[in-house]
Chains A and B, each alone.
Chain A
Amino acid sequence: MSRITTLTRLTAATGFAMVPGFAMAVGTLEGTVEKQATNWTAIGMFGFFVVMTLFITKWAAAKTKSAADFYTAGGGITGFQNGLAIAGDYMSAASFLGISAAVMMQGFDGLIYSIGFLVGWPILTFLMAERLRNLGKFTFADVAAFRFAQTPVRVFAAMSTLVVVAFYLIAQMVGAGQLIELLFGLDYFYAVIIVGILMMVYVLFGGMTATTWVQIIKACLLLGGATFMALMVMAHYGFSLESLFAESVQVKTALATADGKTPEEAAKAGIAIMGPGTFVKDPISAISFGMALMFGTAGLPHILMRFFTVPSAKEARKSVMWATVWIGYFYMLTFIIGFGAIVYVLTNPNLITHDAKGALALVGGNNMAAIHLAQAVGGNVFLGFISAVAFATILAVVAGLTLSGASAVSHDLYATVVKNGKADSASELRVSRITTICLGLVAVVLGLAFEKQNIAFMVSLAFAIAASANFPVLFMSLLWKGMTTRGAVIGGAIGLIVSVGLTVISPSVWEVTLGFEKGSAPFPYTSPALFSMTLAFVSIWLFSITDKSRRGDQDRDGYLAQEVRSETGIGAAEASAH
């Protein structure tokens, strides 16, 4: 146990700033991070995963000959496979470790997060998925720019894709570095470089085919591991949620008593995990944050891209169906895992400590909740397994992000804007590979640069931008005849600029990252989406109806052809012809 005592002392001595406020605790891996002793079981299992995925990449590389193979795996993925891959693309290590930690610390509030991450999927299914499949080829810009002037809309879509990808990628890289340092005892520097190299190898050689299979395998491992943990916890309580919750409340009450609370206060603190707590500071933040999560899901470029990998609208529908099932199931598991951590981890005096402010914390940081629980229910081998799964999870997510960023540059900017749609498949493929290398390098450099920064806001920012820039443009172009190029570009740009701007002057960046005085943030709410997304919709409408240009008439006239193709898929066959 000497390792743990040293760690406890280290944690207390270094006193890393804990996550400021729960609202930002989920989505990125933040908080106290301590390097662990090298964990050979975990490294061995991860090594096995890497070898397996490299073989898949080799197999995929042989199949990746054209730009279509690279971007969409030739359109030959089935709905079920794509559903798993979407789930693998969407369930990040941050949401696994972050949400289970949030449930452990705050109980019910963790569930509010999970629900936010899930509710965007039906909207995507009901109004967009089939139409996307019928209209698009490689990127969501294919759909957003379908009937408009190509250059301005593509440039906007590529910019907003790259911005979303950049923020999401930084969050993942920093999270990866910290997590690997934590789980494997590897230096942050090497951890980030390993993630960068593996991600480049998958995407560079195996394109969408390799990325898809990495995501599918990761989704199966993550779902399997989480199921096992939840089952072990539930079995211990005779599969009665009531007994699990009752004991959790007792543990929380005892912890509060130990912290010097009076019996009444302690009892209140204990039962607080069973209902909504501090998650909602004010109603506007609650609604705004809910909108960012819900509509952001329907605007994430790396998720939208996955709809072009299936051969038909029917398979696109099945994809979202399965994705929703797996993601919903996963979030139910994380809730049980979080409560499992209360009874198994918070009761182990070797695992709990106090941070610099005197608040209760876990050894190695609160995000270790699921990891410590893995050890408690499955021993060292299972701990190694879950650690390896967490690493694999990050790889699958960054590979998807890189592919989406690369396609925005090579397909939207190079092939369509620079080459005016006349680029041959070979040169487009070459540009996407060069872009992949550049993005890999940029991701590593940013990952290293942001190591010590507080980047907790970045995932919520990525969702807010996706909800405020990509979603309104895509949604309106699909369903509103009156939209014009001018409305799309100005409205989308306003959504992008306002969502980034308001985030900068919100507490999570203004006070936490930039270090201004607490309470001084000019924009007081958690998320900008309520304002930036509404503004984007209003601007799209306003700048479209006032557009009297000839291009505007052309855009409106083009709606019928777009509508017929989006409803029936007639004319879309060549998108997946092979």
Chain B
Amino acid sequence: MQDSMLERIANSPSYKALRGKRLRFGWTLTIAMLLVYYGFITVIAFRKDLLAIPMGEGVMTWGIPVGFGVILFTIIVTAIYVTRANREYDDLTAQVKREVLK
């Protein structure tokens, strides 16, 4: 790619929008994932008795829904990212290409 075209792309508003959105959204969800997982690990590391508390009369403990919850959270945040990215990013990318490659 020539430098002039590179500059044109880098300075185009749709490119800036695409990059900004992707970075912000990607990092927001990354931080959410890190908080959930390391939150879970921290509880296990320091207060594992919390997860062994029974939920009701039976043997079911809070640990089970929390553990399955982390798995479901992982799947759901990934789905959220992919759905939004597939809807927005590819359109924006196409727009960048239209703007600079014409």
| Interface members, chain A 295-337 (any B CB < 8 Å) | 313-314, 317-318, 320-321, 324-325, 328, 331-332, 335
Stretch at the interface among A214-222, A273-281, A449-457: A273-281
Does A45 touch B at the CB level, under 8 Å? no
B101 and chain A: residue at smallest CB distance = A570
Is B82's CB under 8 angstroms from A125's CB?
A: yes
| Interface members, chain B 38-97 (any A CB < 8 Å) | 38, 40-42, 44-46, 48-49, 51-52, 58-61, 63-64, 67-68, 70-72, 74-75, 77-79, 81-82, 85-86, 89-90, 93, 96-97
Residue B71 contacts which of A114, A294, A314 (CB distance < 8 angstroms)?
Answer: A114
A309 → B minimal CB distance (Å)? 18
| Interface members, chain B 10-48 (any A CB < 8 Å) | 10, 15, 18-19, 22, 25-27, 29-30, 33, 37-38, 40-42, 44-46, 48
A315 and chain B: residue at smallest CB distance = B86
- Neighbouring A residues of B46 by C-beta, 8 Å: 283
Q: How many residues of A contact B (CB 8 A)?
A: 53
Residue A564 contacts which of B1, B29, B48 (CB distance < 8 angstroms)?
Answer: B1
A274 to B56, CA, bound (A): 13
- Neighbouring A residues of B10 by C-beta, 8 Å: 560, 563-564
Interface size class of chain B, counting residues whose CB lies under 8 Å from the partner chain: 35 or more
Is A122's CB under 8 angstroms from B33's CB?
A: yes
- Neighbouring A residues of B9 by C-beta, 8 Å: 564, 568, 570
Residue A567 contacts which of B22, B37, B48, B101 (CB distance < 8 angstroms)?
Answer: B22
Tell me the number of A-to-B contacts counted with CB atoms below 8 Å.
161
Known A290-B37, A318-B82; judge A279-B71 contact (CB<8 A): no
Is B61's CB under 8 angstroms from A274's CB?
A: yes
- Neighbouring A residues of B71 by C-beta, 8 Å: 114-115, 118, 328, 331-332
Known A246-B58, A567-B18; judge A123-B30 contact (CB<8 A): yes
Is B15's CB under 8 angstroms from A564's CB?
A: yes
- Neighbouring A residues of B1 by C-beta, 8 Å: 561, 564-565, 570-571
A4 → B minimal CB distance (Å)? 31
Is A274's CB under 8 angstroms from B41's CB?
A: no
A335 to B68, CA, bound (A): 10
B16 → A minimal CB distance (Å)? 10
A272 → B minimal CB distance (Å)? 8
Is A328's CB under 8 angstroms from B48's CB?
A: no
A266 → B minimal CB distance (Å)? 15
B57 → A minimal CB distance (Å)? 10
Does A271 touch B at the CB level, under 8 Å? yes
A126 to B59, CA, bound (A): 38
A454 to B18, CA, bound (A): 50
A76 to B7, CA, bound (A): 32
Known A115-B37, A324-B75, A570-B97; judge A245-B30 contact (CB<8 A): no
- Neighbouring A residues of B85 by C-beta, 8 Å: 130, 314, 317
Residue A241 contacts which of B64, B79, B97 (CB distance < 8 angstroms)?
Answer: B64
Residue A118 contacts which of B19, B61, B74, B97 (CB distance < 8 angstroms)?
Answer: B74
Does A111 touch B at the CB level, under 8 Å? yes
A245 and chain B: residue at smallest CB distance = B59
Residue B74 contacts which of A122, A130, A279, A286 (CB distance < 8 angstroms)?
Answer: A122
Does A249 touch B at the CB level, under 8 Å? yes
A277 and chain B: residue at smallest CB distance = B48
- Neighbouring A residues of B101 by C-beta, 8 Å: 570
- Neighbouring A residues of B51 by C-beta, 8 Å: 108, 275-276
Is B78's CB under 8 angstroms from A121's CB?
A: yes
Is A287's CB under 8 angstroms from B61's CB?
A: no
Does A381 touch B at the CB level, under 8 Å? no
| Interface members, chain A 237-296 (any B CB < 8 Å) | 241-242, 245-246, 249, 271, 274-276, 279-280, 282-283, 286-287, 290, 294
Does A152 touch B at the CB level, under 8 Å? no
Is B77's CB under 8 angstroms from A122's CB?
A: yes
Residue A275 contacts which of B38, B61, B78 (CB distance < 8 angstroms)?
Answer: B61
Residue A320 contacts which of B33, B38, B82, B90 (CB distance < 8 angstroms)?
Answer: B82
- Neighbouring B residues of A271 by C-beta, 8 Å: 52, 59
A321 to B45, CA, bound (A): 30
- Neighbouring A residues of B33 by C-beta, 8 Å: 119, 122-123, 126
A125 to B86, CA, bound (A): 12
Is A286's CB under 8 angstroms from B60's CB?
A: no
Does A127 touch B at the CB level, under 8 Å? yes
B32 → A minimal CB distance (Å)? 9
A317 to B93, CA, bound (A): 15
Is A112's CB under 8 angstroms from B44's CB?
A: yes
Is B86's CB under 8 angstroms from A119's CB?
A: no
Does A378 touch B at the CB level, under 8 Å? no
Does A569 touch B at the CB level, under 8 Å? yes
B49 → A minimal CB distance (Å)? 8
A290 to B78, CA, bound (A): 19
Is B59's CB under 8 angstroms from A321's CB?
A: no
Residue A125 contacts which of B44, B60, B78 (CB distance < 8 angstroms)?
Answer: B78
A332 to B72, CA, bound (A): 10
- Neighbouring A residues of B59 by C-beta, 8 Å: 242, 245-246, 249, 271, 274
Which 5 A-B pairs have CB atoms at the shortest separation, nearest pair first? A275-B52, A283-B45, A276-B48, A126-B26, A286-B45
Which residues of A are in contact with B by a Cβ distance under 8 Å? 108, 111-112, 114-115, 118-119, 121-123, 125-127, 130, 241-242, 245-246, 249, 271, 274-276, 279-280, 282-283, 286-287, 290, 294, 313-314, 317-318, 320-321, 324-325, 328, 331-332, 335, 560-561, 563-565, 567-571
Q: List 5 A-B contacts (CB under 8 A).
A: A108-B67, A245-B58, A246-B59, A280-B44, A290-B41
Besides A122-B74, A275-B48, 8 more A-B contacts (Cβ < 8 Å) are A108-B63, A115-B37, A275-B61, A275-B63, A283-B45, A286-B45, A287-B38, A564-B10
